[in-house]
Structure 1
Amino acid sequence: MSFVGHQPPPIFKRGPAPVARLFAFVAICLALLVADLRFRYLEVMRNALSVVTYPLQMAAATPADFVRNASRYFATLLEVQIENADLRRQQLTSGERLLRFELLEQENAHLRELLGMSRRVEVESIAADILYNAPDPFARKVILDRGAQQGVEPGLAVVDPKGVVGQVTRVHPVQSEVTLLTDRTQSIPVSVVRNGVRGVLFGTGRGRLEMRFVLADADIREGDQLVTSGLDGVFVPGLPVAAVVAVDRETDAFARIEATPLAAVETSVQVLVIGRTAYPPPPPPPPPAARER
C-alpha cells in the first residue's frame, strides 16, 4: 500500500509557532484592555455576569456564613445569659439596699418625731425599741431593749410620737416590760383639753379605752382630746392619750365614754421612756379616827 502523494488532514497541519500565537494573544488582550479602559464597552457584560453569578457566589458563601453566624450567635447568647445573671444579682442587691434605705428613712423620721416629743415634755427620756410581745396571751404587754442599766424604772410612761403607749411595769437589768394602755388592768388619769374635765381612762383589752366614773351631765363630747392630768405624779401632764369616740348618757348616773388611743399602741416599734420631773410625795397619814379603828 503506497502513501505517495497522500496529504494529511487539515487538523494535523501545523499552524504558527506557539511563541507567535502567545504574542498574538497578548497583543489582542492588551488591545481589548486599552479599548475597555478608554471606551468602557465591557461594563454591561460585567454587570450581566455579576448578576448571573451572584446566586452561585451566595451558595458558595452560605456554609462559611452559617458557621460564622452560628458561632457569633452562640457567643452572643452566652454573653447575654451572663449579663442577665449579673443584672439579676445587681437588681437583688439594689432592691435589698433600697429596702434598707427605706427602713432607715422610716426609722430616722420616727426618731426625729420621738426627739420632738422629748423636747415638748422637757424631761429626761430614753429611746427604746420594742423587741417582742410578752408571752402572756391575756395581757397587752411588750418587752423593751432597755432596762435598769439604762435608767428605766417601774412606773415610767412610754410614748411614741403621737401619744402615750403604756407604762413600765417590770424592770430587768437590760430589758423592761411595758403594759400597754389598752390592757384591762391599766388605768391613767386624764383631762379634757377643751374644758379641763378630769377622769380616769381604763383599758378594755380590745384596743379601746373607757372613761369611767364620769357623771352623765359632764361636758364631754365626741372628738374631745384627752391628755394626762399628772395628778398621779407618774405621768407628765399634757401628754396626748386618746380621743373620745362615743358618749352614752342614758345608762345610769355615770356616762359611758369610749375613746381610742392616739398613739399606735399595737404597732409601735420605737418608743420613748419618759422620766419623772420629781418623785411623787408620800401619801398623807390617815386621820386619828381611822388609826383608832
Structure 2
Amino acid sequence: MSFVGHQPPPIFKRGPAPTARLFAFVTVCLVLLVADLRFRYLEVMRDALSVVTYPVQMAAATPADFVLNASHYFATLIEVQRENADLRRQQLSSGERLLRFELLELENQRLRELLDMSRRVEVKSIAADILYNAPDPFARKVILDRGAQQGVEAGLAVVDAKGVVGQVTRVHPVQSEVTLLTDRNQSIPVSVLRNGVRGVLFGSGQGGLEMRFVLADADVREGDQLVTSGLDGVFVPGLPVAKVVGVDRASDAFARIECEPLAAIETSVQVLVIGRTAYPPPPPALDARER
C-alpha cells in the first residue's frame, strides 16, 4: 500500500513553533499596551472590572484587617488600663498630700492660737504635746511630752487656745501627768468675769463641771464666763475656764450651777504649761493648842 500524497488527520496537524507563538503573543501584548497608553480604550473595562472584583478584594482583606484592628484594640486597652492605674495612684498621692496640708494648716492655726494665749497671760509658758491618755479608767488624765528637764512643775496650770485644760499633778524627767479639769477629784477657784462672784469649780467625772459654794441669791446667770480667780496662788488669775449653762436656786442654800469647759479638753493636742507669777506663801504654823 502506498502512502504517497496522503495527508495526516487534522488532529495530528502541527501548528507554528512555540517560539513563534510566544513572539506573536508578546507582540500583541505590546501593541495593546501601547495602544491603551495612547488611546485609553481599556479604561472603561478596567473600571468595570474593579467594581466587580471589589467585594472579592474586601473579603480577602477582612481577615488581615480584623487581626490588625484586634491587635490595635488590645494594645489601646492595655495602654488605657495602665494610664488609669497611673491616674489612680496620682489621685491617691494628691489626696494624701492634701490631707497632710490640711492637718498642717490646722496644726499651724492651733499653734498660732496657743502663741496668742501665751502673749495674753504674760508669764513663762512651756509648749507641750499630749502623747496619750493615762492608763487609769477611773481618772481623766493625760501624759505630756515635757517634764522636769524642760521646767515643768507639779501644780502648774495647763491650757489650750480656748482655756484651762487641767493641772500638772505628777512630773517625771521628760514627761508629766496632767489631771484634766473634768476629773472628779479636780477643783479650781474661779470667779464670774461679769461681776467677780467667786466660787470653786469641780469636775463631774463625766465631762461636765459644777460651780459650788455659791449662795442661791448670788448674781450668776446662764451664759456667764468663769475665769481663774488666782486665790490659790497656783493658777494665774484671769484664765478662761468655763461657761455657765444652767442655774438651779431651789435645791439648797447654795445654788447648783452647771458649767461646761471652754477648752477642748477631750480633743486638744497642743497645750501650754503656764508658770507661776510667784510662789504661794507657806501655810501658817499651828501653835501648840491647835496641835
**Same fold judged by TM-score > 0.5?**
yes
Shift of 1:150: 0.8
Tell me the number of residue pairs that the alignment of Structure 1 and Structure 2 aligns: 286
Shift of 1:44: 4.6
Counterpart of 1:23 in structure 2: which amino acid? T
Match in the other structure for 1:136: 136
Q: Aligned partners of 1:104, 1:79: CA distance in 2, in Å? A: 37
Counterpart of 1:101 in structure 2: which amino acid? F
Match in the other structure for 2:64: 64
Name the Cα RMSD after superposition.
2.5
Q: Aligned partners of 1:103, 1:205: CA distance in 2, in Å? A: 30
Q: Aligned partners of 2:157, 2:49: CA distance in 1, in Å? A: 101
Q: Aligned partners of 1:172, 1:180: CA distance in 2, in Å? A: 17
Match in the other structure for 2:267: 267
Cα pair 2:36 2:42 within 8 Å, conserved: no
Q: Aligned partners of 1:200, 1:94: CA distance in 2, in Å? A: 51
Consecutive aligned runs of 4 or more in structure 1 exceeding 6 Å deviation: none
Q: TM-score, normalised by structure 1?
A: 0.88
Shift of 1:15: 7.2
Shift of 1:29: 2.7
Q: Aligned partners of 1:208, 1:145: CA distance in 2, in Å? A: 26
Q: Aligned partners of 2:252, 2:228: CA distance in 1, in Å? A: 26
Give a deviation string over 1:1-38, Cα, whole Å, max 9, x none.
757364865995857954455434422331222112xx
Counterpart of 2:31 in structure 1: which amino acid? A
Q: TM-score, normalised by structure 2?
A: 0.88
Match in the other structure for 1:102: 102
Shift of 1:76: 3.2
Shift of 1:152: 0.5
Q: Once structures 1 and 2 are overlaid, which stretch shifts more, 275-284 or 70-79? A: 70-79
Q: Secondary structure at the match of 1:242?
A: strand
Match in the other structure for 1:91: 91
Match in the other structure for 2:289: 292
**Which of 2, 17, 30 lines up with 2:34 in the alignment?**
30
Counterpart of 2:289 in structure 1: which amino acid? E
Q: Once structures 1 and 2 are overlaid, which stretch shifts more, 97-106 or 184-193? A: 97-106
Give a deviation string over 1:244-265, Cα, whole Å, max 9, x none.
0000011111110000000111
**Counterparts of 1:200-239 in structure 2 under 5 Å?**
200-239=200-239
Q: In structure 2, do the counterparts of structure 1 residues 216 and 43 end up closer, same or farther at CA, with 3 Å as the change threshold?
A: farther
Q: Once structures 1 and 2 are overlaid, which stretch shifts more, 64-73 or 121-130? A: 64-73
Q: Aligned partners of 2:117, 2:45: CA distance in 1, in Å? A: 97
Structure 1: 5+ residue stretches without partners: none
Q: In structure 2, do the counterparts of structure 1 residues 42 and 116 end up closer, same or farther at CA, with 3 Å as the change threshold?
A: farther
Match in the other structure for 2:178: 178
Structure 2: 5+ residue stretches without partners: none
Identity %: 78
Q: Aligned partners of 1:44, 1:220: CA distance in 2, in Å? A: 113
Q: Secondary structure at the match of 1:72?
A: helix
Counterpart of 1:110 in structure 2: which amino acid? R
Counterpart of 1:253 in structure 2: which amino acid? A
Q: Aligned partners of 1:112, 1:103: CA distance in 2, in Å? A: 14
Match in the other structure for 1:254: 254
Give a deviation string over 1:225-255, Cα, whole Å, max 9, x none.
1111111111111111100000001111111
Match in the other structure for 1:154: 154
Q: Once structures 1 and 2 are overlaid, which stretch shifts more, 76-85 or 5-14? A: 5-14
Give a deviation string over 1:171-224, Cα, whole Å, max 9, x none.
001110000000111111111111111111111111111110101110000000
Q: Secondary structure at the match of 1:254?
A: coil
Q: Aligned partners of 2:45, 2:255: CA distance in 1, in Å? A: 114
Q: Aligned partners of 1:125, 1:53: CA distance in 2, in Å? A: 97
